[in-house]
Structure 1
Amino acid sequence: MERGDTMPSAQYLGHGISLLDVRDLGREKRTGTYVIQEEKLTIIETSGSPSIPYILQGLEQLGLKAADIQYIIVTHIHLDHAGGAGLLLEKCPKAKVIVHPKGKRHLIDPSRLIQGAKAVYGEKFEEFFEPVVPVPEDRLIVKRDGETLEIGHDRILTFLDTPGHAYHHFSIYDPKSNGIFTGDTVGIIYTPLLENGLDFYLPTTSPNHFNPEAMLQSADRIEKLGISRIYFGHFGMSEDPSAAFRQLRFWLPIFVEAGQQVADSSLSFEKKTEAVYQTLKKKVTRYLDERKVPRTSNVYEILDLDLTICSMGIVDYFQKRMAKSEK
């Protein structure tokens, strides 16, 4: 293992669902892969290819084999959620990858995904994501809004189109746990802060399909299901969905306002991004200070990266909106 000599244990969440810490971006508690132990063994999210050894080790800890996986579901095709799907398939001869209709072509030919990720992650791209292996078309299954997948005789998953973070994003409702796998649609839960007794959530507004109105509509749709649990892509399960929705609605306008403040300026994209980042970092730091989170907390390392990427997405959103209005 290049990212550490020890492996975190699989965490059992109940209802036949386990969470694997797959060390995305080389960080613990950053991105999770969920394993649903049913007649048709199913996993949700792969993260990038460097995470695949962690998935294989986690399966081994659960007494499972990659060769027994039937379905690999990716909530959306961003490389930190789906970049490892092609590589994992090489270990899973029976498996099919399930993807949103608008994501299929990008798994077959990931060149545009690679280009976009390189723009965000720069010189770290290779370390974080290589290799990005294409998924053969005959091993893909598309699921549209409202369609289902039976993975056990009494377990049928339902797929819901939930844009906002990305237009190629669905969420997966699981009736057995009355929970939903939301990827990035309703944001991120910062699990390290649970040690401080704080449930803390932020929206994730990365480029290049962020849409705040769609994000709120998707959140409303999910909330109306009356769910008991949210399984976040980053990272872990919340059994307090109301807190997640409340904080999303609190923070999203703040994120958007930070972008509005620089949207009409003549600054470069990079300088606008830095201005948004500085605004958001001050507001988030003040919020955490008020809740007695020490500034030495390792959550700040994760937050710095997240707020940088979110700032890029916000600036990108306003520039695209302005370009449309000028046509």
Structure 2
Amino acid sequence: METRPPVDLGHRRAMIDGFDLGVPGRTGTYVLREEALTLVDTGPSPSVPRILKGLEELGLDPADVRYVIVTHIHLDHAGGAGLLLESCPRAQVVVHPRGARHLADPSRLVAGARAIYQDQFDALFDPVVPVPKDRLIVKGDGDTLKIGPECTLTFLDSPGHAAHHFSIYDPASGGLFTGDTAGIRYHELEDCGFVLHLPVTSPNQFDPEAMRRSIERFRKMKAERIFFGHFGMEEQPEAVYEEVLGWLDRFVRTGESVFAEGGGPSEIEERLMEQVREHLRERKVPEDHPVYRQLKMDLFVSALGIVDYLEKKRG
């Protein structure tokens, strides 16, 4: 099993690389070392052994984990929650009100992911273990959770990527755990001297107006840093919001144009990739840079979500 050492993010925060989709640096599990040891997002079940290894390397006992918070219930963020609980006997899972029943009975989540990933599903996500109802805690907009004498987390309803999504404000770090609502951080481009941030518009609850409102809400909070589901920490939130909102407009305009021409997800993905490639070419990114493999997969899934949104809009 390939692993990487946990990353110290300061403020008693660390990140464990779960190697989601078998890829390093894809999905992170955040460790909040407070009186009540807390994790944010689990990744899928194949990430769970890496989480346990990361806790060991941090000198932490899984039996001391009290809360496992999932920003939303997509399998790449919450699919491993049920399995992880088997090694964390004192832990409870904190989830958005719209997500609780799907963690207790993940059959619809599994069916949706199988439709997208097909014969790759088992290797990427299996097993998806139900979370016992008595180990679920539901937190709605504005609710709080005290995890330490000087650390009370606040939950913010943040739809746009998914209706069952919340983000978490962490006063100890001055940071926001934004899951997928504030986009993906393509840290792979750090070797080119910058990082790219793109929105995540995957099906089946993508709503661009809700995403804009959520990001504007983040902006008003004046957080000092963002903790991304994919992947890592950013300490220039305002620049992130500006970039993601700009690309969100381009994603929707491109989708509308292709859709009006009778095109579908493949054509939208191709058009979006052309735009991203041109942007990266201007930044002197080599045409064979590894980031393109990740972009191709992400943009296709985002194209599916754009089509789904436009079909619903058309009625």
TM-score calculated relative to the size of structure 1: 0.95
| Secondary structure class of the residue paired with 1:318 | helix
Q: 1:313 — aligned with what?
A: 305
* Structure 1 residue aligned with 2:113: 117
CA distance in 1, matches of 2:252, 2:115: 22
- Distance in 1 between residues matched to 2:288 and 2:234, nearest whole Å: 25
- 2:159 paired with 1:163: yes
Spell out the pairing of 1:209-288 with structure 2 (5 A cutoff): 209-266=205-262, 272-288=264-280
CA distance in 1, matches of 2:106, 2:64: 26
Give, in whole Å, the separation in 2 of the partners of 1:278 and 1:103.
Answer: 32
Map of 2:289 onto structure 1: 297
Q: Is the contact made by 2:188 and 2:195 (CA closer than 8 Å) also made in structure 1?
A: no
1:121, CA displacement in angstroms?
A: 1.2
Confirm or deny that 1:45 pairs with 2:41.
Answer: yes
Q: Shift of the alpha carbon at 1:265?
A: 4.7
Q: What one-letter code is carried by the residue in structure 2 that aligns with 1:278? A: E
Q: Give the secondary structure class of the aligned counterpart of 2:217.
A: helix
1:179 corresponding residue in structure 2:
175
Supply the distance in 2 between the matched residues of 1:249 and 1:130 (Cα, whole angstroms): 34
1:177 Cα deviation after fit? 1.0
Q: Is the 8 A contact 2:186 2:291 kept in 1?
A: yes
Query: Post-superposition, which runs of at least 4 consecutive aligned residues in structure 1 deviate over 6 A?
Result: none
**Counterpart Cα distance in 1 of 2:262 and 2:219:** 39
**How much does 1:283 deviate?**
0.2
Check the 8 A contact 1:205/1:311 in 2, yes or no.
yes
State the 1:263 CA deviation.
2.5
Distance 2:202 2:301 in 1: 5
1:297-317 per-residue CA deviation (whole Å, 9 max, x = no partner) reads 111111111001000110111
Cα distance in 1 for residues equivalent to 2:262 and 2:174: 48
Unaligned runs of 5+ in 1: none
Q: Distance in 2 between matches of 1:232 and 1:314?
A: 22
The residue correspondences of 1:182-221 to structure 2 (distance < 5 A) are: 182-221=178-217
Percent identical across equivalent pairs? 54
Q: C-alpha separation between the residues in 2 aligned to 1:120 and 1:241?
A: 31
Q: Could you tell me which amino acid in structure 1 is paired with residue 35 of structure 2?
A: E
Unaligned 5+ residue runs, structure 2?
none
Matches of 1:244 and 1:130 in 2, distance apart?
33
Once residues 295 and 130 of structure 1 are traced to their aligned partners in structure 2, the CA distance between those partners, rounded to angstroms, is: 34
Tell me the secondary structure at the aligned position of residue 165 of structure 1.
Answer: coil
Q: Which amino acid aligns with 1:304?
A: K
Offset from partner CA, 1:76-120 (integer Å, 9 cap, x none): 000000000000000011000000000001001101101111111
Q: Which is worse superposed, 121-130 or 40-49?
A: 121-130
1:8 aligned to 2:4? yes
Q: Is the 8 A contact 1:77 1:103 kept in 2?
A: yes
1:72 is paired with a residue whose SS is strand
Q: CA deviation at 1:196?
A: 1.1
Return the alpha-carbon distance in structure 2 between the equivalents of residues 320 and 264 of structure 1.
14
| Residues 77 and 168, structure 1, Cα contact 8 Å, conserved in 2 | yes
* Aligned residue type for 2:92: K
Residue type of the alignment partner of 1:209: Q
What is the CA-CA distance between 1:264 and the residue it aligns to?
3.7
Q: Which AA in structure 2 matches 1:289?
A: R
AA aligned opposite 1:255: F
SS of residue in 2 equivalent to 1:224: helix
Offset at 1:262? 2.8
Q: Across the two proteins, how many residue pairs are aligned to each other? A: 315
Task: State the alpha-carbon separation in 1 of the partners of residues 219 and 262 from structure 2.
Answer: 39
In 2, Cα distance between equivalents of 1:210 and 1:121 = 18
Query: 1:9 touches 1:61 (CA, 8 Å); kept in 2?
Result: yes
Kindly state the Cα deviation for residue 211 of structure 1 after the two structures are TM-superposed. 0.2
Structure 2 counterpart of 1:94, from 90, 95, 112: 90
What letter is aligned with 2:60?
L
